[in-house]
Amino acid sequence: MNKIGIIITREFNERVRKKSFIITTILMPLLMIGLMVAPSLMMLFAKGEQKSLVVIDQSGIIAPQLEGDEEINFTPMDVTLDEARADSNIFGVLWIGSDVVDNPSNVKLYTNSSSSMSLESNLASQMEKIIERERLKRYDIENLEQIMQDVKVKVSFTTFRNDLSEEGEDEEATSSTIAYLLGLVLGMMLYMFLIIYGSMVMTSVIEEKGSRVLDVLVSSVSPFQLMMGKILGVASVAVTQIAIWGVLVCGIGAVVLPALMPEDVMQTVEAVQMGQMTSVEADIDADLLSAVSLATDVGGLIMMFVWLLLFLVGGFLFYSAMFAAVGSAVDSIQDANQLQTPITVPIILALILAMSVFNDPNSTLAFWGSIIPFTSPVVMMARVPFGIPTWQIILSLVLLYASVVAMAWAAGKIYRVGIFMHGKKPSFKELLSWIKQ
């Protein structure tokens, strides 16, 4: 174990002391925040100049009711279509047929430059509302439009999850939207870590094998000790990175966020969470309520990072053993591409299965995807935010770590033979024979 510890320390120090690790650890949370904010900023700054659109309305109904905005300006004109289209100083021409109320498709848009989805959506939305109002007038019912407005309703409710305990039944406000977003982030995080850090182990083995460093190292340590030392060393780097992020997130949730938010807002959030009022009564969006509650629940955040670390370590040990075996069996990255395909396919499949979790986290497909070790790390972390039973998480972890032992044994067999093989890329049949030896 002392020899393995020396290898772990070397692998850990070699990577953690790099500037790239420090920069990635600091920038990744900022990058994730930036990705969430970027769409809004792009929508804000991507707006172009106001466009001038000539409207030729043969029905005389639509044009007077069209409302311009900062994106487009409507100019009704009594000219022929050919005359309007000949004007190159305008953005385009909107031609509306005389029977547009009965035939809404009798509308044509001619543009002198590329149109946009937002502009066309704006036009369609406005004309649909105008035509609907005109059709309502035909029923000759007094104040019909006002009646239609009065009967419209938007249902808003708070979802509570019942958690039965010895003290009785407690109500916990939840949000499927927040669970979806959190599950997506956690699932993608596991997927990226398995691919990136697993490939890191394989690349390290290939480089040391090519330089014949491994031939020297195995004179002092056994091949299995060498393999486990490299795997655990890289795993400790991943755990360190996740732990740093966990401390930052929990610190922000416990100290920064409550200090920035008004005291009355925090009191309202606590009241809703305790079931003393609903989000509707508090005039707070249910998703916003759930997001604030999750961000300030330090205990819940710590538990989330504990599950994340357990599945990260288990999934990494499971897959990195295979990556290490592949690295030991080849002499170059190019030769490894074919052999690592059976390893990367289950990881990609796990990400696809994680997407099905968001439709129904308790479906049969989601359950078995989170139990089978090849896909469980990614799929289970996508399910955890939805509040699944704890026994399923524990069962998944037990099966995952039991599979780690079996995979490490099989990979160790390949590693022991592969590090001494040079100049020939083995086939899958040969790898299987190495395991049986």
- Pairwise CA distance, residues 359 & 343, whole Å: 27
Can you give the pLDDT at residue 174? 53
Can you give the pLDDT at residue 399? 94
The residue among 378, 382, 389 whose CA lies nearest residue 360 is 382
Residues 6+ apart with CB under 8 A from 279: 156, 157, 158, 173, 272, 285, 286, 289
Can you give the pLDDT at residue 165? 44
Neighbouring CB atoms inside 10 A of 156's CB total 11
Cα first-last separation, the chain: 25
Can you give the pLDDT at residue 262? 62
Question: Taking the CA atoms of the chain, what radius of gyration do you get in angstroms?
Answer: 31
Question: Distance between alpha carbon 150 and the CA centroid of its chain, in Å?
Answer: 39
Block mean pLDDT (10 aa), the chain, length 437: 74 74 69 55 59 88 86 86 85 89 88 81 88 83 78 65 48 59 77 83 78 69 77 83 78 66 63 56 56 64 83 88 82 76 87 82 87 90 84 92 88 78 74 76
What's the maximum distance between 2 C-alpha atoms anywhere in the chain?
A: 97
Can you give the pLDDT at residue 282? 53
- Pairwise CA distance, residues 252 & 244, whole Å: 12
Phi-psi category of residue 239: left, alpha or beta, with phi > 0 → left and psi -120 to 50 → alpha: alpha
Residues 6+ apart with CB under 8 A from 207: none
The token pair that represents 189 in the structure block: 């995080």
Can you give the pLDDT at residue 204? 80
- Complete domains list, the chain, with CATH: 51-138 (3.40.190.10), 181-436 (no CATH)
- Pairwise CA distance, residues 4 & 233, whole Å: 9
